[in-house]
Amino acid sequence: MKFEINNTFSEKLPADPNPDNSRRQVFESAFSYVEPTPTSDPELVHVSDEVAQLLGLSKADTNSQEFLDVFSGSKIYKDTKPYAMCYGGHQFGHWAGQLGDGRAINLMEILHNQKRWALQLKGAGPTPYSRSADGLAVLRSSIREHLCSEAMHHLGVPTTRSLSLIKSGEKVARDMMYNGNVQYEDGAIVCRVAPSFIRFGNFQIFASRNDHKNLRKLVDYTIEAFFPEINSNTPNKIISFFQAVADRTLQMIIGWQRVGFVHGVMNTDNLSILGLTIDYGPYGWLEGYDPDWTPNTTDRQNKRYRYGYQPRIALWNLMQLANAIFPLVEDAKPFEDTLNDFQEKYKLQYHNMLASKIGLQHPTVKDANLLNSLQIVLQATETDMTIFFRNLAEFQKHTNIDDEGAFLEVVKKSFYVPEEVKEKVLASWKDWFVKYQHRLNEEKWSDAERKAAMNQINPKYVLRNYMAQLAIEAAEKGDNAIVQELYKLLKKPYDEQPKSEKWFAKRPEWARHKVGCSMLSCSS
Ligand code: AMP
Ligand code: MG
């Protein structure tokens, strides 16, 4: 196993001078050196062959003892010095002060095929930022992170990747629902991979301490390393940087809304400066289309991070980032303009994205009514988002809408309670299909062309919460077959995979209120 090491974050930014792994406030430093805790009996559960390839690792490499040692945190790769990053954040709308990598340890940055990758272990033991927690992660949440990172990538949504999933061999105590019921679970370690793991909170922590010198260093470093399109000599480069972050964040959110992904904990420490989906915790996928849904039980009261709110939370988070870097610019106007722009762009891009989900070739503003009424009728009875949009592609322009209910034939598999689709609900659907058919007849696309286009953006397979749960329950018994099966399935989420048709199904009734399926907490 040979890497071309090329550390920049730890080379160019100030290190915490204190070498102790003791929990503390860390000032005027971007990170603290800290070593992972060796594990007693690591066992490889799964490797993403694609991520391995990105990093230049062969099959022999990923099967080696060295791989297991390095990516379980038991051995430090030669000539590297692992570290944890210092960052702060707003949690659920409130400034929380210093947070930092409490259970993440950056191993190294490498170059491969001219691309930069940072490799980071999650769950490899405590760091100076662990506060009162143990620095560990359990198999359950690690499977969810590993599978979902890769699934999101293949759905075309920007995300951190996951190289490996390794059981540590240790037992970890968790009170899953915070109700005093502590259980011992298998510990696990995931190796996350991204160009960088810098978050909004890395800027906020310096700003909150009036440490403008290091704030500037971090901004300069980030622009130079990750925003090569920005000329680092221009006076308004910080505004260009902020605009670029806003644009990347926008693309990520549009992606989430398109595939029905709910992040669950959009705190500012969980927003990547590169616009990557990061920190897979109590996330979930919409089953019934419901803008008010969140899988995170910790957020059950306010539902701050519910599906329909994700765009405005992204805006709120960008506002916090603007506040953090404002001292380097001292002119509010360009920040306000960028935030206003974000809202305008979001409206337009969301409109176009939704229009493309129903197969409109040339959407116009006039389609607002059709799209708004769709969002209303989708909530008239519980309707599975993924199945609905996928099957809508089967609709034929010449369907006879007057034929009783025939227009529903293509989408009826998406209804959770088909008996409810009568009278008023049926009438609303009929109204909608009349409008839809009329609109389709204005377009040039044939049914087949429209279907082909729709099937490229409406996934057939997503990582439904119950699917992850089945993989977890088997893996907890030592059977990793479902982890492997889902990993493979979700590599091609837009393809028909006839042998895997069983995963193109509504959530089974047993999963409706089950912990892990519809209820998840931050404790993992
Ligand atoms: P999260 O909401 O999971 O992104 O975590 C918020 C903060 O808590 C971050 O600083 C994490 O590093 C830290 N944290 C979460 N879980 C643990 C843990 N088991 N041990 C140490 N720190 C943790
Ligand atoms: Mg986090």
Percent of the chain whose predicted confidence (pLDDT) is above 90: 90
> Which of 26, 121, 131, 272 is the best mutation target for the ligand 1 pocket, counting ligand atoms within 8 Å of the beta carbon and taking the most?
131
How far apart CA 52 and CA 336 sit, in angstroms, is: 42
Q: Which of 312, 338, 339, 356 is nearest to 455 (CA)?
A: 356
Å from CA of 299 to ligand 2 middle: 15
Instruction: Provide CB contacts within 8 A for 279, sequence distance 6+.
Output: 265, 270
Q: Are the CB atoms for 261 and 152 separated by under 8 Å?
A: yes
Closest-approaching ligand to the CA atom of 141: 1
Please write down the long-range contacts of 206-210, taking CB distance under 8 Å and 24 or more positions apart.
Answer: 206/324, 207/323, 207/324, 207/325, 207/327, 208/88, 208/95, 208/97, 208/324, 209/27, 209/28
As a whole number, the mean pLDDT across the chain is 96
pLDDT at residue number 513:
81
What type of residue sits at position 414?
Answer: S
Please give the pLDDT value at position 178: 77
What is the enclosing helix (H) or strand (E) of 368? helix 368-377
pLDDT of the residue at 48: 98
Whole-number CA gyration radius for the chain: 24
What's the pLDDT tens digit per position in 201-236? 999 999 999 999 999 999 999 999 999 999 888 889
Q: How far is the CA of 130 from the centre of ligand 1 (A)?
A: 7
Confidence of residue 521 (pLDDT cuts 50, 70, 90): confident
**Residue-wise pLDDT tens digits, 466-497:** 999 999 999 999 999 999 999 999 999 999 99
Cα–ligand 1 centroid distance for 99 (angstroms): 8
Measuring from each residue's beta carbon to the nearest atom of ligand 1, which residues come in under 6 Å?
Answer: 99-103, 129-130, 133-136, 265, 267, 270, 279, 281, 522
Res 23 pLDDT > 90: yes
Active-site annotation holder among 186, 269, 367, 384: 269
Shortest CA distance to 436 belongs to which of 398, 409, 404? 398
Q: In this predicted model, what pLDDT tens digit does every residue of 2-21 receive, in sequence order?
A: 999 999 999 999 999 999 99
- Rounded CA-CA distance 98/288 in Å is 37
Nearest CA to ligand 1 atom 18: 135
Q: Is the pLDDT of residue 523 over 80?
A: no
Residue of 25, 95, 105, 129 best suited for mutating to test ligand 1, as the one with most atoms within 8 Å of CB: 129
User: Among all chains, which residue has been given the structure tokens 């091609």?
Assistant: 492
**How far does residue 270's CA lie from ligand 2's centre (Å)?**
5
243-253 confidence digits (pLDDT tens): 999 999 999 99
- Of 223, 119, 114, the C-alpha closest to 164 is 119
The pair of structure tokens assigned to 329 is 């610019």
For the CA of 298, the nearest ligand: 1
Q: Give me the mean pLDDT over the 119-148 stretch.
A: 97
Contact present, 3 and 55 (Cβ < 8 Å) = yes
- Burial (Cβ within 10 Å: 0-12, 13-18, ≥19) of residue 351: middle
Domain boundaries, the chain: 4-199, 201-356, 357-383+394-454
**Best of 130, 172, 272 for a ligand 1 pocket test (most atoms within 8 Å of beta carbon):** 130
Contact by Cβ (8 Å): 191, 270? no
How far does the centroid of ligand 1 lie from the alpha carbon of residue 203, in Å?
18
Query: Is the pLDDT reported for residue 401 higher than 90?
Result: no
- Per-residue pLDDT of 106-118, as tens digits, reads 999 999 999 999 9
Could you identify the residue written with the tokens 């040979």? 2
Ligand 1 atom nearest the C-alpha of 269 is 4
Q: Which ligand is nearest to the CA of 282?
A: 1
Q: Which ligand is nearest to the CA of 272?
A: 2
Active site residue 49: no
Q: Specify the ligand 1 atom closest to the Cα of 99.
A: 10
Q: Say if residues 257 and 310 touch (Cβ distance below 8 Å).
A: yes
Q: Atom 6 (ligand 1): residue with closest C-alpha?
A: 99
Q: How confident is the model at residue 524, as a pLDDT?
A: 67
Instruction: Say how many Å lie between the CA of residue 55 and the centre of ligand 1.
Output: 27
pLDDT in tens, 57-94: 999 999 999 999 999 999 999 999 999 999 999 999 99
Residue nearest ligand 1's atom 13 by CA:
102
The answer to whether the CB of 358 falls within 8 A of the CB of 395 is no
What number does the ligand 1 atom closest to the CA of 523 have? Answer: 16
User: How many angstroms does the Cα of residue 66 sit away from the middle of ligand 1?
Assistant: 28
Nearest residue to 349 (alpha-carbon basis) of 433, 254, 421: 254
